[in-house]
Structure 1
């Protein structure tokens, strides 16, 4: 994919996502090409759990979203859904910007395997994940 198509696809995905769960959480698609996706979130009070750190579900949402986008980039024109995901929480994070970076690990017939990390503004590793995505048939 050339940079013009990459930008327009990125803009298209960002626009579609705005009115979904993605937009409700506050995710931002920062960068996308066929090898890497970068998603960010400005962590605010409502993203925190009861002990004042980023809720595990928000970690998982960011990682899953970034890996889902890179899986879609690996299989353009096809729909993908998460079939499994493993998350490791490595360091607490509070308010401020976090960034998820996702990459492809392996692509086969009906499966895309990915990995991603979530880092704080200070480049601290907050969590990391691997996931498998299943290629599904598009609705007609």
Structure 2
């Protein structure tokens, strides 16, 4: 495949993902407040402006919000690679490393392995201060 054709294909996929993100605003993605920051081949960065409603009773970002952010980012990597396939999260592992309050969270995700029916990804969440808050990995299965 020529570089020009590869770039056209990536731009087309990026446009499709941006349209998907726009359509997803009425779903949990939008309710949570996720935004796409950057897309490239096999990598995605999203962000979330964490607000008081994202906090738990200790005034810390709720673990479920972090888990959802990880899953959303890794899921976008999978959607980018399998745009015409139905995929589901088969397994997700999360390491909560540091607590945080309100502020901008940035989450990046990338593909680390692919087999015939399974994609394995990893993802990291960073706080406003650049500190690593959580690391996760996930396996996504292509369903027939």
| Bucket of the pairwise TM-score, normalised by the shorter protein | over 0.9
Report the Cα offset of residue 6 of structure 1.
3.9
Classify the secondary structure of the residue corresponding to 2:122.
strand
User: Which residue is equivalent to 2:22?
Assistant: 15
User: Which residue is equivalent to 2:93?
Assistant: 86
Q: 2:116 aligns with which of 94, 98, 109?
A: 109
Written as runs of structure 1 = structure 2, the 5 A alignment for 1:1-140 is: 1-2=6-7, 4-137=11-144
TM-score normalised per structure 2: 0.90
- The aligned length equals 137
User: Which residue is equivalent to 2:3?
Assistant: none
Classify the secondary structure of the residue corresponding to 2:26.
coil
Give deviations 1:24-65, integer Å, cap 9, x for gaps.
011111111222101100000000001010000000000000
TM-score normalised per structure 1: 0.93
Cα distance in 2 for partners of 1:75, 1:8 equals: 15
Cα distance in 2 for partners of 1:32, 1:12 equals: 13
Flag as ranges the 4+ runs of structure 1 deviating above 6 A: none
Structure with larger Rg:
2
Which structure carries more helix by proportion?
2
Give unmatched runs, 5+ long, in structure 2: 1-5
